[in-house]
């Protein structure tokens, strides 16, 4: 696990994500999800590359269902990019690192 990636929970989501002064890319994932495991190293690299300009947070679906429901997450992986407490971009399913970086660049 990367030092640049936060683990948000139902209890910490508002503080970690919604109140963040920096844009936050949230990865809604599950232990049972193969594509989630495949995308994790890309997210860690993205978090390192954009340190200080972007936060990356992971929310485990099975343990944080309240947050997942509130955000309308129905499948994993779902990536939501929050800026100023609002969703700026959504990506569902496996994507390339290039697609992730483009999503982030548009929001920054």
Residue numbers annotated as active site? 33, 36
For residues 56 and 46, the answer to whether their CB atoms sit within 8 Å is yes
- Buried/exposed code over 5-29 (b: 16+ C-beta within 10 A; e: otherwise): bbebeeeebeebbeebeebbbbbbb
């Amino acid at each position: 696990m990367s030092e640049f990636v936060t683990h948000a929970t139902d209890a910490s989501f508002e503080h970690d994500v919604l109140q963040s002064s920096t844009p936050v890319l949230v990865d809604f994932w599950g232990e049972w999800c193969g594509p989630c495991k495949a995308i994790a190293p890309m997210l860690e690299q993205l978090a390192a590359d954009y340190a200080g300009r972007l936060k990356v947070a992971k929310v485990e679906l099975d343990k944080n269902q309240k947050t997942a429901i509130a955000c309308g997450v129905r499948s994993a992986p779902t990536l939501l990019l929050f800026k100023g407490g609002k969703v700026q971009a959504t990506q569902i399913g496996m994507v390339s690192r290039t697609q992730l970086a483009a999503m982030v660049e548009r929001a920054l």
